[in-house]
Amino acid sequence: MSSIFIIANLADYVEVGKDDLVQKYLFLTTSHDGRGSITAAFTPSLILCANTLNASLRKQINTVRILHTYNAKQCLEQAHKVMEISGILSVQMGAIFNNWTKVRIIDRELKIMVQSALAPSSEKIKQLHQIKLDLMKL
């Protein structure tokens, strides 16, 4: 099933720390065949292709799904719900991001995180876990 999407820039930002601004977007996606629902959700990621669309859909917990059989009044009610959710989520996201700005890590910890994210095998993960345990003892 192929799908289409549209993304709207909400012309507002989430301020992180003193200098970083994270753009807010609202996206809608649906299938070409009309059998699925229209999905609307808030995201801080600019969706440019199917990969970023799928990643954004996997991360969504508060989405609105509008069936193709809805009438206009129901669609407007759902659209209002989407905008309300996007406002709540952007405040929550801002709080999370600003909390992260207070977390300090040293170079060794950063190296371990990058290696963990790029670990090619379970053996490498075990090695990194042991390094982490060793660092915790310091």
pLDDT at 27 over 80: yes
Q: How far is CA 106 from CA 26, 58, 110, in A?
A: 36, 31, 6
Domain ranges of the chain: 3-100, 107-137
- Pairing relation of β-strands 64-66 and 38-43? antiparallel
Residue 32: name the closest of 57, 65, 64, 1 by CA: 1
Q: Is residue 41 classed as helix, strand or coil in its secondary structure? A: strand
pLDDT at 105 over 80: yes
Please answer whether residues 63 and 41 qualify as being in contact, where contact means their C-beta atoms are separated by less than 8 angstroms.
Answer: yes
Specify the residue for token string 């090695």.
127
Identify the band that residue 61 occupies on the pLDDT scale cut at 50, 70 and 90: low
